[in-house]
């Protein structure tokens, strides 16, 4: 996705409590799944232990206005029947006495090494876009689905910007529905116009064929559609689009340079002068 531009964004820094320890898989008497992470440094093994533990060894919160902790929008608590055992070979020990939380770059490196070890690089990208849509699943009040979608190759250099974008689930849904915006169709007849596209889309019984069709409409947001199908977020998006009743987020539209509304369409200099004249003429009515 190459439309994301970091300019014009505001980052609010809040007091954050981060805790990460190695964790120990809980022994509940159920089956245990062995995860081979290969040759890793001690820091990498600690990170995997925190991610795969069942005892809440990964904690990221900020203090809310009422004093209660607010969790990350990407936080989930997996429901497991068993536990994980990690098979590893430590290549280097950590020198620091105090451990610090793993950076996103280091975490992506650990994940990349794991996927390379097991030759599942395509699955890594699908897992990443799946995680990006977790806030949307929470926004809709749904549990994550188990749909499978075609692997998609995204620009990993844009991942940090995509992560920022995924913190705005309403904006993500507006981006997904933007594929149905057609600038040449007037607002009062868009419902009738949408009957044609959905006559085709409703014929698809295969999610892979449906996702490919939507991705071709706007490949720049294709990665988000992959995540939407993985989390079942596509159902509500398509329902709202078919009813010609979806949200528009102008900030996200500007940040990603994605057309969503007629208000983004360029106008001629003559039309601009007319608008300026009308605003100045009617200014007295609003003072």
pLDDT score, position 54: 67
Query: Quick one: pLDDT at residue 177?
Result: 93
Residues 252, 261: Cα–Cα separation, whole Å: 12
CA 144, CA 117: separation in Å to the nearest integer? 27
pTM for this predicted structure: 0.67
Mutual orientation of helices 159-166 and 169-177 as an angle, nearest 10°?
110
Inter-residue contact 181 to 260 (CB < 8 Å) = yes
CA distances from 61 to 15, 64, 146, 191 (A): 9, 9, 27, 43
68: left (phi over 0), alpha (psi -120 to 50) or beta: beta
DSSP one-letter code for 55 = S
- In this prediction, residue 150 carries a pLDDT of 47
Report the alpha-carbon distance of residue 77 to residue 56 in Å, rounded.
Answer: 8
Q: Three-class SS of residue 144?
A: coil
The whole-angstrom separation of Cα 273 and Cα 271 is: 5
Q: Are 147 and 232 in contact (CB under 8 A)?
A: yes
Answer for the pair 145, 114: CB distance below 8 angstroms, yes or no: no
Pairwise CA distance, residues 259 & 52, whole Å: 40
Q: What is the pLDDT along the chain (287 residues), one digit of tens a residue?
A: 434 333 333 333 334 444 555 555 444 445 778 888 888 888 888 888 888 876 655 566 777 788 887 777 776 666 666 677 888 888 776 665 566 777 878 888 888 899 899 888 878 878 888 888 888 877 777 655 544 444 445 555 666 777 788 888 899 999 999 999 998 888 888 889 999 999 999 999 889 999 999 999 999 888 889 889 988 889 989 999 999 888 889 899 988 889 998 888 888 888 888 888 888 866 665 54
3-class DSSP assignment, residue 88: strand
Specify whether the CB–CB gap between 62 and 18 falls below 8 A.
Answer: no
Structure tokens at 138: 């929470």
Length of the chain measured in residues: 287
pLDDT at 14 (0 to 100): 37
Q: How far lies 168's CA from each of 217, 247, 266, in Å?
A: 23, 13, 27
Pairing of strands 83-90, 69-71: unpaired
């Amino acid at each position: 996705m190459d439309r994301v531009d970091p300019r014009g964004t505001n980052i609010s820094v809040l007091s954050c409590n981060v805790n990460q320890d190695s964790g120990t898989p809980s022994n509940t008497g159920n089956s245990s799944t062995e995860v081979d992470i290969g040759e890793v440094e001690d820091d990498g093994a600690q990170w995997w232990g925190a991610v795969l533990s069942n005892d809440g060894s990964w904690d990221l919160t900020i203090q809310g206005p009422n004093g209660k902790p607010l969790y990350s929008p990407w936080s989930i608590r997996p429901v497991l029947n068993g536990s994980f055992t990690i098979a590893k070979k430590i290549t280097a020990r950590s020198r620091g006495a105090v451990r610090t939380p793993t950076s996103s770059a280091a975490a992506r490196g650990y994940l990349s090494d794991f996927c390379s070890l097991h030759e599942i690089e395509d699955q890594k990208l699908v897992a990443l876009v799946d995680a990006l849509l977790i806030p949307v699943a929470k926004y809709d009040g749904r549990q994550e689905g188990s749909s499978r979608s075609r692997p998609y190759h995204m620009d990993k250099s844009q991942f940090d910007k995509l992560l920022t974008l995924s913190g705005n689930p309403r904006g993500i849904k507006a981006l997904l529905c933007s594929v149905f915006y057609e600038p040449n169709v007037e607002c009062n007849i868009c419902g009738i116009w949408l009957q044609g596209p959905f006559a085709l889309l409703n014929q698809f019984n295969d999610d892979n064929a449906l996702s490919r069709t939507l991705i071709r409409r706007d490949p720049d947001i294709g990665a988000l559609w992959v995540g939407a199908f993985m989390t079942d977020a596509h159902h509500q998006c398509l329902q709202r689009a078919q009813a010609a009743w979806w949200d528009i987020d102008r900030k996200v539209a500007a940040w990603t340079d994605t057309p969503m509304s007629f208000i983004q369409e360029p106008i001629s200099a003559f039309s601009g002068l007319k608008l300026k004249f009308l605003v100045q003429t009617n200014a007295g009515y609003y003072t």
